[in-house]
Amino acid sequence: MNLATARQAFGPAAGYSLQVAVYESAKREDAKRAAEAAAAQLRRDGELAFYFHGAARSSVTVGIFGDRDFDASLQPRNPAMIALQQRYPLNLLNGQFPIVERSDGVERQQPSTLVRLP
């Protein structure tokens, strides 16, 4: 399911989804197909999963959430969101390797993160 159509499907209160993977490839179509396949597999596994094709990369997200599901600092209040973050704690590159962030000379794995619906 395309994240770009999620607001239409779930209504105006739907505002966010949890990004769990980013797909990149020199061949843009390969990244698109891989993200779509990953989202389809997550749906077969019982998750409410989406793909989204941006200008340079494609992403995979799970769940649909609204403003009431987290506090002002984006900390989750919704038990379903907390469970998803526990099942998918990292944002994966091409579905395999955790994305590594570097700041202040420290490397850490990038956690899964809430993204706004397009």
Alpha carbons 13 and 11: distance in angstroms, whole number: 6
pLDDT at 75 (0 to 100)? 79
pLDDT at 98 (0 to 100)? 87
Please say whether the beta carbons of 85 and 91 come within 8 A.
no
- What is the mean pLDDT for each group of 10 consecutive residues in the chain (118 residues)? 96 96 96 98 98 96 93 83 95 90 84 93
Residues 6 or more apart whose CB falls under 8 angstroms from that of 101 comprise 107, 108, 109, 110
pLDDT at 91 (0 to 100)? 95
Residues 6 or more apart whose CB falls under 8 angstroms from that of 79 comprise none
Residue type for position 92 = L
Q: Where are the beta strands (DSSP E) in the chain?
A: 16-23, 49-53, 58-65, 92-93, 97-98, 100-103, 106-109, 113-116
pLDDT at 32 (0 to 100)? 98
Question: Which tokens hold the place of 2?
Answer: 């395309």
pLDDT at 90 (0 to 100)? 95
Q: Domain boundaries in the chain?
A: 3-116
